[in-house]
Chain A
Amino acid sequence: MKNKLKVLRAERNWTQADLANQLEVSRQTINAIEKGKFDPSLPLAFKTARLFSLKIEEIFEEETD
């Protein structure tokens, strides 16, 4: 799953640790999500969307073959 987490984070001048603190996950988890190596659960995706005041689909995008 692709996502715009890195861009959204950069726009706000947040580090991975800052975002991790806001979402109550580890910095490694933010890193894995940004790199597309780990897909967040629906509750975490909603929490992320709420934090950025966006819709889930504006942050996360399904990768189709």
Chain B
Amino acid sequence: MNATTPSSSWQNRNKKRTRNLALWTLAWVLTMALATLGPALLWQEDKLFSMLAIGLNVLLGFGMIYANVIHLRGLDEMQQKVQLQSMGITLGIGMVLGFAYSNLDIANVIATDAEISHLMMIMAITYMISLVIGLKRLS
């Protein structure tokens, strides 16, 4: 038997779905940059352009979510289990540390305002670490 049996199209389909997700994510990130930097650098605070950029960002965001759902459905059962565990840990860490961070800001314990981007970074790092640990444990 060789590795290019008709069933190997499963791997090809998965690669295509992963590439598709990467493209949607890239588009979302680029429009996020446009919506964030555009008002100051490109259209001098014009609200119409800001609304259009934010609307485009949200639309592409939904596209990214759908691409992620398709990607997750295409994974095999072990990969889905690892993803589920990683997402669960990420959600928990995000909630616990997010509210704690917000409380630190409300109680004026920290000098600066709590930024959503800090929470996103924590969640992204948590997700990556838990994915690596999850896959390592099963290898």
Q: Is the interface of B mostly helix, strand, loop or mixed?
A: helix
B1 to A29, Cβ gap below 8 A?
Answer: no
Known A21-B11, A40-B77, A44-B77: A32·B5 in contact at CB below 8 Å: no
B76 to A17, Cβ gap below 8 A?
Answer: no
One of A21, A23, A29 near B3 (C-beta < 8 A)? A21
Interface size on A, residues (CB 8 A): 20
B5 to A29, Cβ gap below 8 A?
Answer: no
A32 to B77, Cβ gap below 8 A?
Answer: no
Known A25-B76, A44-B77: A32·B139 in contact at CB below 8 Å: yes
* Nearest residue, chain A, Cβ from B135: A28
1/0 per position for B68-100, CB-CB distance to A under 8 A? 000000001111010000000000000000000
Chain A CB within 8 A of B10 CB: yes
In the bound complex, what is the Cα–Cα distance between A43 and B89 (angstroms)? Answer: 27
Q: In chain A between 1 and 43, which residues have their CB closer than 8 angstroms to a CB of chain B?
A: 12, 14-15, 17-18, 21-26, 28-29, 31-32, 37-38, 40-41
In the bound complex, what is the Cα–Cα distance between A23 and B8 (angstroms)? Answer: 9
> CB-CB < 8 A to A26: which residues of B?
11, 76, 78-79
A14 to B1, Cβ gap below 8 A?
Answer: yes
> CB-CB < 8 A to A38: which residues of B?
78, 81, 138
1/0 per position for B1-42, CB-CB distance to A under 8 A? 111010110110000000000000000000000000000000
Residues of A within 8 A of B (CB): 12, 14-15, 17-18, 21-26, 28-29, 31-32, 37-38, 40-41, 44
Residues of B within 8 A of A (CB): 1-3, 5, 7-8, 10-11, 76-79, 81, 135, 137-139
